[in-house]
Structure 1
Amino acid sequence: MSLGRSSRMAARVPTVRDLLASGDRSFSFEFFPPKTDEGERQLWRAIRELEALRPTFVSVTYGAGGSTRDRTVDIVERLAHETTLTPVAHFTAVNHSVRELRHLIGRFAGAGVRNILAVRGDPPGDPTGEWIKHPEGVEYAEDLVRLIRQAGEFCVGVAAFPYKHPRSPSIESDTEYFVRKCRAGADYAITQMFFRAEDYLRLRDRVTAKGCDTPIIPGVMPVTHYSTIARSEQLSGAPFPPELARRFEAVAHDPVAVRELGIEHAVEMCRTLLDEGAPGIHFITFNRSSATREVFQALAPAMAGT
């Protein structure tokens, strides 16, 4: 693709920054690159079903250690070319030199992708293992933000942690790391999943107290299976709220009741978040559409408000 064509494509692609600045409530969906052909078919079924809801944007995750790098780029490129959706590409620093990172940024630019979510990423194999910087790479997410900013006209998002990042020694230091990412050039943030509205609101208050007004979009995942509770703790590094765990334990024997409770809780929490001024909701879908559609449809009147 010629640079001229890439520039013309980029000029037509909206950025998350612009979409948030419009003042409308944002709602978006997160997908991950599948590892099998059947998973690929499931992913595109979910994408097509959720496309009809006209989300503000959709994001595609990037596996630990860059394990799904090529699939992420392929999916984001296809989203940009074959759908009406605005794609956001997750992008990590794990196991990548600065040269490789710049090459990948160029691939996104060549696909007409202007929106990148910059996260340092987890070590391959063991997400809780020791972080080891690539000898020719970058150390922190804020360095990755600067690298993307230097590469061209991109809209850059970062991650936020309502509980705190598992590697942060304290909530206070985690807040400081987040503000540094924003001051490095981040346009917005998306939180890791959480299950109490208060956790998001406390994060927002801490960030505001530091003089930072970067929009923070809450990331929400409805609990549809009892096993999701343990998985959420592994993925987020945050303990599942004990009072909510007891509600799920009471119906753990009934998969239908677990799903109903999960959707009910997600709707209640999202309504609180929107009432408290959250700029929107980012739904973590695990490449399924049904539960997300149910939550979204229950929220539709609130999502339409400004």
Structure 2
Amino acid sequence: MGGPVILVDWGTTNFRAWLATGPGVPPEQIVSDGPGMASLAPGEFPEAFSRALDPWRSGSSPVPVYMAGMVGAATGWQAAPQLPLPVTLADLAGAVVPVDGFEEVWIVPGVRVPGEAPDVMRGEEVQIFGAFGLTGRRDAMLCLPGTHSKWARVEDDTLITFTTSMTGEVHAVMMAHSLLGREASGDSGPLGAAFDEGLAAGAGSGGLLHQLFAARSRRLFGDLGPDDVRPFLSGVLIASEIAAMATDYPPGDGEVLLVGSQTLRGPYERALEHFGYVYRWIDASDATLRGLFDILQCRSGGR
């Protein structure tokens, strides 16, 4: 790393940026709540980028920028490829895409599971390698909860497989567009008995679709109050996700690196304990920042 660099996480709902000035110096967050991809028309991406970062790039030698997330999707600013597995940190570093019309601005590629049953990832791959940089691990299972939750396996510093579940999106759709959601209160409150009951139901018999309808039945004739709907539904969906992952990512395979936000930390820690997993939590922002920094270091020969 020969000078300052800007590291950007540009996703669907947010734009965040940090200024890194050198090894051993904690990066400074310079943008915390910029516009996400979903709030911009395609032609507005360059202007939004410049408005956010020009104060740090207005000199004769613009500060380099490395970006990860949905900025590289087909619906983002400029498409970056999704590399087929297996993938290493060096593979990501070697395939960054320069942004047309901007000097020293790069987008990190995503990754994909090739074959007849493809799966895709964009942004989480940076968090995965960042989590390994933070922990010093070379092998691990990972759980990355979110709108589209990911479970992944890394062996010998190589991402070899991952699986996506639409856990967060299904929860949002159910709350916004289903009969169950209409009867829920706006505030889910702290985790409690309703979440635990949802975990038990989601891990039980009948399957996810039955348990979703059972939540409606319990609301009508059981003990599920308006304040209980959100946590119960969260428990059902998270339990269904983890139960489905247990074959390919079994609890007995060692510690799971749980990479997520503070908001999702509590529910997933409780659910992982319910299913017998040993876990270690890592803040998603810290993982993103470390992953981008390590990609930069790899490109500059520092790793």
TM > 0.5: no
* Greater helix content: 1
* Greater strand content: 2
Point out the structure with max Rg over C-alpha. 2
Q: Which structure has the higher relative contact order (CA within 8 Å, separation 6+)?
A: 1
TM-score (ref. length: structure 1): 0.36
